[in-house]
Amino acid sequence: MNLRRGFSRFLGPGGNPARALPRYFGPLGIVLLCLLPLPLDNYLRAVLWQLGIYVLLGLSLHIIVGYAGMFQLGHAAFYAIGAYTVGILNLRAGWPILLALPVGAGLAGICGYIVCRPILHLRGDYLAIVTIAFGEIVRILLVNDAGGWTGGANGLSGIARPAIGGFVFRTNLEHFYFVLVFVLLGIAAVRRLEDSRLGRAWMYVREDEAAAEAMGIDTVRVKSLAFFLGSVGAGLAGGLYASRVSVISPDLARFQESVTIFCIVVLGGCGSIPGVVVGTLAMVALPELMRVVRDWRDGFLGLSMILMMIFRPDGLWPRRRSGLGT
Amino acid sequence: MEFLAQNLLNGVSIGSFYALVALGYTMVYGVLRLINFAHGDLFMWGAFLGYTALTAISAAGLSPGPWVFVPVLPGVMIVLALAGVLLERTAYRPLRSAGRLPPLISALGAAFILQALARNLYGASYKTYPSSVSLPGGVRILGDVTMGTTQIVAVLAALLLMSALHVFVHRTRVGTAMRAVSLDHDTARLMGIPVDRVIAGVFLIGPALGGAAGMLVALRYGSFDFTLGWTFGLKAFIAAIVGGIGNIPGAMLGGLILGVVESLGAGYISPQWKDLIAYVLLALILIARPGGLLGERCAERV
């Protein structure tokens, strides 16, 4: 098997790796995840929370890049849109977080849909470039205090914490569980999508758009749905971020952020859900724990990206292939 | 009227730098179909290497005047040309046959490395070239429209480098080989063209021009930091796309258009929204004419 293969083979054909695991693996994993932060100190709990946010971001981009095969390098824009929507609704209109979260996610999704429509026909790297430009446009709008709502370069502060009934999520541990719920829901949703009619259509479009079109798949609809759903996920992650940190700035829409999310998907192994988790560990946890060499963090990241591409281009946890293909 | 003329002039002057950097992006894209994200950071290194050289000259007891550019500019260009070839050998050549995504990631990785190096070696603060290297005075071009001497020389240098490149690509054997490789690797190889060496040649020229642009931009703007490659480089990249990526005259045209549009936008709308204009221009061009102004028409897949 040649390690260096083209993009479509790089992503691999269908097949669900989760199937190979025993049935009890899922519930056991959830229990372990719930117990995981208990022995850890407060700092590590915060890192776990951060990982949760990035897994959500990775999962959402995974729909666009992994399934539908579109290079989206401006994903952080939708993350920022979700965060700012939640922040503005909470600060200006006094909405509780739980009510603002779905609105933020929905608005990010709608923005994703509107943005992608005119650019869907673009080829791989051209699409990547327009999405970079869109990310920068969002960041500049936020920095320049568009409409007087975004607080300019300082961003927004004082966003409330999420609350259910009388219970307010305050500590790192509580926030971790709050995010974990969304991560588990997200994983379940993405797995269901993968085996759905829509998921198969995405992969068909990714492998061969012309053939998919000929088989009666409405490629424009299918691709814009990928963008919509992916952006909803990013918006949700943004809202969750805003409600825990309570201070948000235009840095959320930085290109570096988009690249991080993109690398989570690609380095983890395009097209696999465990890959997203492994990718998050590699891109976020590792640099976070390497704080000693913090100044060289980006350098190491860059070096590992190049080495990965040369020696293990399928990603850390590639998608298992079904009998057909390769 | 004078306001318009002054803005146009500023636009042309910035645009010629965009064009110089855009050439590096466009040449690499032409032969490899790769967005060389690291090019902007090589350009940024040009500014930093120039800074090091000027500091060293001052430390040696010589007072740096405008003359220092005569040895330093070619020196920086040579160092960056070597860096470009090294980059191609280590980060891109092993991925030549790996499709389009892996080299893209590798390029992003290289950009991260170059930025981290600059930040750690030079610190995150803004750097300035000593004011003594600037040429004094300015030229009154029309009424109150003026242009600093330094600015004029920098623009002329940029135009000179671009003309040299044009002649090189169209009048020499190596240039012809480059054009052949950008059309079709396999056919070029069958015609006896050493494709690998031609590609290395592209990585020699692009970063050299980028490095020269880095020094000239640092001279013109006065201060810069390690994010220069990102902020200015991305704009130059946009210029390459506006003109039609992979197309050398396109990169020059795109650079000039972007510079003028930006400068007019800053003058007539607001300097605050200047950056937005570039991105909106890019989005409009790509939606309406994805191949760029002078590029191939290629909306769909290859």
Residues from chain A contacting residue B238 (CB–CB below 8 Å):
133
Average pLDDT rounded to a whole number, residues A276-292: 81
Beta bridge partners of B255: none
Contact A305 B99 (CB under 8 A): no
What was the ipTM of the complex prediction? 0.83
Query: How far, in whole angstroms, is CA B24 from its chain's centroid?
Result: 6
CB of A106 within 8 A of CB of A232? Answer: yes
Average pLDDT rounded to a whole number, residues A107-114: 96
CB atoms near residue B74 (< 10 Å): 13
Show which of residues 212-241 on chain A sit within 8 Å of chain B, judged by CB atoms: none
SS (H, E, C) A4-63: CCCHHHHHCCCCCHHHHCCCCHHHHHHHHHHHCCCCCCHHHHHHHHHHHHHHHHHHHHHH
Question: For A248-262, how does the pLDDT look when each residue is reduced to its tens digit (9 = 90+)?
Answer: 999 999 888 898 899
C-alpha span between A69 and A206 (Å, rounded): 5
Q: Which residues, other chains included, contact A229 with Cβ-Cβ below 8 Å and sequence gap of 6+?
A: A60, A63, A109, A193
Strand A163-164 and strand A156-157: the pairing is unpaired
Per-residue model confidence (pLDDT) at position B156:
87
For residue A68 the two structure tokens come to: 């539908």
C-alpha span between A54 and A262 (Å, rounded): 11
A22 pLDDT higher than 70: no
C-alpha span between B66 and B79 (Å, rounded): 21
C-alpha span between A285 and A297 (Å, rounded): 12
Nearest chain A residue to B235 by CA: give it. Answer: A133
A324 pLDDT higher than 60: no
CB of B138 within 8 A of CB of B148? Answer: yes
CA distances from A6 to A15, A211, B22 (A): 19, 18, 27
Residues from chain B contacting residue A305 (CB–CB below 8 Å):
105-106, 108-109, 112
Question: For B55-114, how does the pLDDT look when each residue is reduced to its tens digit (9 = 90+)?
Answer: 888 888 777 777 888 889 999 999 999 999 999 999 999 988 887 788 888 998 999 999
pTM, two decimal places:
0.84
B141, B185, B157, B201: which is closest to B10 by C-alpha?
A: B141
For residue A161 the two structure tokens come to: 């914490």
Give start and end residues of each alpha helix (H) in B172-273: 173-183, 185-190, 195-221, 228-243, 248-268
Tell me the angle at which helices A42-61 and A273-280 cross, rounded to the nearest 10 degrees: 140
How near does any CA of chain B get to the CA of A230, in Å?
A: 20
B210 pLDDT higher than 50: yes
Q: Which of B112, B234, B286 sits opposite A298 (nearest CB)?
A: B112
A229, A129, A154: which is closest to B287 by C-alpha?
A: A129
Contact B99 A263 (CB under 8 A): no
Contact A305 B109 (CB under 8 A): yes
Contact B109 A10 (CB under 8 A): no
A84 pLDDT higher than 90: yes
Nearest chain B residue to A258 by CA: give it. Answer: B108
User: Any idea where the domains of chain A sit in the sequence?
Assistant: 8-33+49-311
CB of A60 within 8 A of CB of A267? Answer: no
A5 pLDDT higher than 50: no
A180, A169, A227: which is closest to A55 by C-alpha?
A: A180
C-alpha span between B258 and B262 (Å, rounded): 6
C-alpha span between A251 and A231 (Å, rounded): 18
Per-residue model confidence (pLDDT) at position A3:
37
Say yes or no: A152 contacts chain B, CB-CB below 8 A: no
Tokens 């060499």 found at: A293
- One DSSP character per residue, A281-318 reads IIIIIHHHHTGGGGGGHHHHHHHHHHHHHHH-TT-SSP
* Number of helices (H), then strands (E), in chain B: 11, 4
A6 pLDDT higher than 50: no
Domains (range + CATH), chain B: 2-127+134-288 (1.10.3470)
Question: For A120-174, how does the pLDDT look when each residue is reduced to its tens digit (9 = 90+)?
Answer: 888 777 788 889 888 989 998 999 887 788 888 888 998 989 988 888 888 888 9
A284 pLDDT higher than 90: no
Question: For B3-22, how does the pLDDT look when each residue is reduced to its tens digit (9 = 90+)?
Answer: 888 888 889 889 999 999 99
C-alpha span between B298 and B302 (Å, rounded): 8
